[in-house]
Amino acid sequence: MTAPVFEFLADPISPEVRTQLQRWSNADDVRHVAIMPDVHPAGPFCVGMVIGTEQLLYPAAVGGDIGCGIAACRFASETPEFTPRQAKMIFETVGHHIPIGRQRRAGLRFLPDNLSEQPLSDPMLEKAKRHDGLLQLGTLGTGNHFLELQFDQQQKLWAMVHTGSRAMGQAIFQFHFRRCMPMRFRLPALHSASAEGRAYLADMRWARLYAAANRQSIMSTLSDILAEVLEIQPEPQTYIDCDHNHLALENHGSLNLWVHRKGANAAALDQPGLIPGSMGTESFHVTGRGNVESLNSSSHGAGRRLSRGDAMRRISPSHLDDAMHGIYYVQHNRQRLCAEAPAAYRDIRRVMRAQGDLVRIVRQLRPVLNYKSTA
């Protein structure tokens, strides 16, 4: 039985994506497939792809950065801009207090109660929770993870943070992936009613909580930094958080489906969402339209147009400088940041037009300071 495939596209899809669609639409127990406008290949499951199953769980269709997502918060600021000196102070302070890559945060003694009190399914994972889980809470990560200051159309200052579950998500994914059953097309799965399936679901939910706590910790640290440098305070009632790598049991018409999203936001009717562009282009706050064909989903960003290797070969630091004109960013890292240049990504406006049936735009924001590392 081949599952129906629903496509919401900004550009023609690549042969690699078409091959993945054919594979997953014919995989065991897959009942529905949807692809978002930011779809692109990324291992055995495309970023920007959504599937629904009735009984089977596919960890590869969520990936290792479980719970990766975006948080945003508005700050009470009467000043529409800030100075180069203030930007330099923000970069220096953020670099000291918010570790990146494999760096770890020092000084945190305990995990939040909702993380420490919920046990993971295996002693090895519990050991990782006490070590990496404690040390990496409040850390940003590399690649396309970022911290950004933005102004909305009313010149109100917002902060946006993109990060996930760090080493813990990878540990949970690898542990459960090794316990999967072999299925068709070499797509290993777990049965949702089995002990192994229930254990994966519980650990996956924990990783989502951890990722959300990670974003909240970073936003709290950033709030302290902005209070010191710009003398402004956050407006907690404006805080928004959503993740785009997860699995959830949802009702869709006559079926209860296990909806797997990798690089796709949940976009049920009126559900808030955050969709960043690239480091040099606009971001959007949205609400979902509850589109049935998309399994209540939307894009999670602009989506890569070039692989990181291709971007490094094709985009020069001078081109990056041109694209980032008027936006503060860490220029000493510009050679490596070419992998994340705006030209490496799709046009976010085309992506938003392609998903007009999936989300409503609430707010558009322009970047003024971007902190990102590929180290």
Tell me, what's the pLDDT at 332?
80
Residue 358 and residue 289 in contact, taking contact as beta carbons nearer than 8 Å:
yes
Query: What is the per-residue pLDDT for 331?
Result: 83
Q: Report the chain's terminal Cα–Cα distance, integer Å.
A: 45
Residue 77: what pLDDT?
Answer: 82
**For the purposes of burial, counting CB atoms within 10 Å of the CB of 35, is it exposed (0-12), middle (13-18) or buried (19 or more)?**
buried
Does some domain include residue 142? Answer: yes
Domain tally for the chain? 1
Q: What string of pLDDT tens digits covers the 375 residues of the chain?
A: 799 999 999 999 999 999 999 999 999 999 999 999 999 998 899 999 999 999 999 999 999 999 999 999 999 987 667 899 999 999 999 988 998 866 666 667 789 999 999 999 999 999 999 999 999 999 998 888 999 999 999 999 999 999 999 999 999 999 999 999 999 999 999 999 999 999 999 999 999 999 999 999 999 999 999 999 999 999 999 999 999 999 999 999 889 999 999 999 999 999 999 999 999 999 999 999 999 999 999 999 999 999 999 999 999 999 999 999 999 998 887 888 999 999 999 999 999 999 999 999 999 999 999 998 765
Instruction: Write out the two tokens for 168.
Output: 């813990």
Q: Is the residue at 249 inside a domain? A: yes
Q: Is residue 133 assigned to a domain?
A: yes
Catalytic one of 96, 285, 300, 332: 300
Find where tokens 């496509």 sit: 7
- Flag whether 319 is in a domain: no
Let me know: does 301 contact 355? Beta carbons within 8 Å: no
In a domain, 96, yes or no: yes
Exposed e or buried b for every residue in 39-69, given b needs 16+ CB within 10 A? bbbbebbbbbbbbbbeebbbbbbbbbbbbbb
Q: What are phi and psi of 71, to 5 degrees?
A: -125, 150
| C-alpha distances out from residue 196 to 23, 95, 250, Å | 24, 40, 20
Query: What is the H or E stretch that residue 206 is in?
Result: helix 195-229
Picking from 361, 355, 367, the residue whose alpha carbon sits closest to that of residue 8 is 355
Active site residue 300: yes
Among left, alpha and beta (phi > 0; psi -120 to 50; other), residue 346 is beta
The pTM score is: 0.96
What is the rounded distance in angstroms from the CA atom of residue 60 to the CA atom of residue 64?
A: 8
Beta strands in 222-335 (DSSP E): 233-234, 240-243, 245-252, 255-262, 264-266, 272-275, 283-288, 297-299, 328-329
In a domain, 110, yes or no: yes
- Range of the structural domain that residue 279 is part of: 5-305+345-372
For residue 23, give the CATH number of its domain: 3.90.1860.10
